Chain A
Amino acid sequence: MNPLRIAIIGCGKIADQHVLAIRRIPNCEIAAVCDREELMAAQLAERFKIPGVFSDGQKMLENVSPDVVHIVTPPQGHFALAKQCLESGSHVYLEKPFTVTAPEAEELIRVAEKCGRIITAGHNYQFTLEMLRMRKLVAAGYLGGKAVHLESHWAYHLSDASYVGPLLGNRNHWVRQLPGKLFHNLISHGIARLAEFLDDDLVEITASAHQSAQLTRMGGQEVLDELRVTIRDRSGTTGYFCFSTQIKPAMNGLRVCGLKNSLIADASSGSLIRFESKASKSYLTYFLPPLRLARQYFRNGWINVTDFMRGRLHQDAGMKELIEQFYHSIQSHGAPPIPYREILLTARIMDEIFAQVYSAQDGVRTALPENLVNGLSVDGRRSYTQSPA
């Protein structure tokens, strides 16, 4: 099999992670990098010895004809660039957030299907090692049916001055130009985790947001950084999402509650904790479950040590896994690693959240849009199969 020829559009901070992850995947090569600012493309190519350097996407597509293009530009450019790549015959890995709006996401997926190409979203935190273990358990029926309730936490500390400084210092910063501003750039991973377990028909989304005192002190202006969301689908599965810049230690994970058992996939510690409905008599309720939990945490620690010894515990393990599954689906003509249904549901939930929190800030209240209540046009539920080796 010929190696996949990969190209990267956008040579900013996240591009390095893509290059490092791709280089660990067999049977593929990075043929070219492209950035509107040629110096940025040149510095990436120089450091990783990549032969092609371009500042024009169309020229790169014509000259290199890559099998796959990773688009890692700010989201405002995602739609046009991805469409261009798909129409020129490349498969597309699109960094999060997938697009700026849900209608753009729908259109892109339509274009991908029309062109017979595959597109995926950079929701790599769904592919971390503990999330893969979680998915196996769920596929084996551990929950005892459809999830009853979900809780997703995502945290981001404002201590990274290289991100927050320019963002707050420049009203025209690309993050502040997004409809959901800071949330828009940061919450995709947390929402995508919920979308995996929710039905398409959502009957309730309630979002509230505010600015933390910390951000106010930093001169946060119109930017909000604390978000809470509740969601319910037509079948009754409820979801709660919390994004915070304040909570310490940072909470980053997913709790899935089922009819029989429940799970926590804790991304902060790379742990998967099972909660089984085993009743204990009398005071044993207070003695045994904590010991069982302790055993589980010990076991998770041991799993992580062995994963490290085997060289599987890279900090970007989720990204490498997602990219590998994506490439595998291209080569085997299989289903995309993230069902389009989930990508669209994530985009629609995000649209609704931003409409609520930023229109509420402006004193306007919006109703739940019709397309959210009436469900989605694209089918494709996750099949809970094991990932390719």
Chain B
Amino acid sequence: MNPGFICGPEDRILITGSNGFIGVKVVEMLLEYGFFNLRCFVRPSSKLESLKKVLEKYPACQLTEIVSGDLLSREDCRRAAQDVSVIVHLAAGFDKTFAGAFMNSALTTRNLTEAFLEIGRPKRFVNVSSFAVYSNLKMQRGALLDENSPLEDCPQERYQAYGFGKLKQEEIVMKYGQSHGLPYVILRPGAVFGPGKPELSGRIGIDTFGFFIHLGGSNELPLTYVDNCAEAIALAALKPGINGEAFNIVDDEKMTSREFLAACKSVKKFFTISVPYVFADLGCRLWESYSKRSQGQLPPIFNRRRCAAEWKGNRYSNEKLHVRLGWKPKVKMADAMKMFLAQYR
């Protein structure tokens, strides 16, 4: 146990979305650090096999409990936040509609923060957000995207409900930080990958039309291996002196979209077509324009904001993560790729 952490083993830590792709790893990381007083919050219909498997590995974690509930219910949020010192809020809404995404990201976060402030022992609220909140529309290709980069100011035009939900979630956390002194930290992971999530990041391309269109070209990907990402999240929950800060999470070693796709195709054969960014951008602009003219006969799923965010290409920095959290990725990219690709075999 590191004496420099903001809480000790007796403090209770709540992890929402604890049975998810990243959540299970965060639980494992906290157990590894010696925090056994965990409350793992899950939806009632969740599959718990992988979470239970992790808990079984740590016989000393008798104090750890699994609590099921719905974060849209204030009562369930109170049950979750009771006597909790740190919350790692990972639960995410993947609803395709804007209202659904807002409900499952923003409303749930509002309910949880209010319960935390009311009946918790607030030392830290870690809000796990996403790179989807950034807008690089006005940035040059290849420009450095870091924590100071602009956030999306027109999510409706970008037409991505998930990013909208995450933006509103951040707004709520910051609002409670200002008005109620909520001690929060915001984390924005890039493209998290690892075994258990075989889907390719949308930043590489899309399979909307029945085959894979590679749109990422030789762009650098903001990759972070799930174990490395989980460690960054755990550190953000525990390190002192970072309240009110936002951190991007990307690994040290970079891969381009083309390299990543080639690695995938080396173990799993599938048909792909590469489209250069200039054509992708033109196609998205035409699509958006037609969508407006036809009053949404084609929904504006392809538009210049989305095109820029996913396929324009940026460089990414994790300097703040290194300096302020003392984080170092434990899993090297070569090993990470081996474990990721093994799931296709």
Contact = CB atoms under 8 A, between A and B. Distances in A.
Question: Across chains A and B, which 5 residue pairs bring their CB atoms closest together, nearest first?
Answer: A169-B45, A169-B44, A162-B95, A13-B97, A47-B156
A16 B98 contact: yes
B221 interface: no
Interface string A190-229: 0000000000000000000000000000110000000000
Contact of A311 (B94, B96, B295): B295
B106 interface: yes
Interface residues on A, range: 20 to 34
A162 B96 contact: yes
A244 B104 CA distance: 28
A20 B156 CA distance: 13
A338 interface: no
A165 B295 contact: no
Interface string A292-304: 0000000000000
Contact of A168 (B45, B94, B99): B45
23 contacts: A13-B95, A13-B97, A15-B99, A20-B296, A43-B98, A43-B106, A47-B98, A47-B155, A161-B94, A162-B93, A162-B95, A162-B96, A166-B43, A166-B45, A169-B43, A169-B44, A169-B45, A169-B46, A170-B44, A219-B45, A308-B297, A314-B295, A314-B297
B168 interface: yes
Contacts, number: 71
A165 B43 contact: yes
B277 interface: no
Given A47-B155, A48-B156, A162-B93, 11 more contacts: A24-B296, A39-B102, A39-B110, A40-B99, A40-B102, A40-B103, A43-B102, A162-B95, A166-B72, A168-B44, A314-B297
B294 interface: yes
B216 to A, nearest CB: 27
B70 interface: yes
A166 B71 CA distance: 11
B45 to A, nearest CB: 4
B99 A39 contact: no
A37 B297 CA distance: 30
Contact of A13 (B72, B99, B294): B99
Contacts of A162: 93-97, 100, 104
B308 interface: no
B106 to A, nearest CB: 7
Interface residues of B, number: 30
Contacts of B70: 166, 169-170
A59 interface: no
Contacts of A11: 99
Interface in A139-180: 161-162, 165-166, 168-170
B230 interface: no
Contacts of A23: 295
B99 A12 contact: yes
Interface string B282-306: 0000000000011111010000000
Contacts of B102: 39-40, 43
A378 interface: no
A44 interface: yes
Interface of B: 43-46, 68, 70, 72, 93-100, 102-104, 106-107, 110, 155-156, 168, 293-297, 299
Nearest to A162: B95
Interface of A: 11-13, 15-16, 20, 23-24, 37, 39-40, 43-44, 47-48, 161-162, 165-166, 168-170, 218-219, 308, 311, 313-315
A12 B104 CA distance: 11
A37 B43 contact: no
Given A170-B70, A311-B297, A314-B296, A165 B45 contact: yes
Contacts of A161: 94
B296 A44 contact: no
Contact of A16 (B97, B103, B294, B297): B97
A61 B102 CA distance: 26
Contacts of A44: 99
A315 to B, nearest CB: 8
A39 to B, nearest CB: 6
A314 B46 CA distance: 36
Contacts of B104: 162
Contacts of A308: 297
A172 B95 CA distance: 20
A206 B93 CA distance: 40
A217 to B, nearest CB: 11
Given A165-B43, A168-B45, A311-B297, A37 B98 contact: no
B107 A40 contact: yes
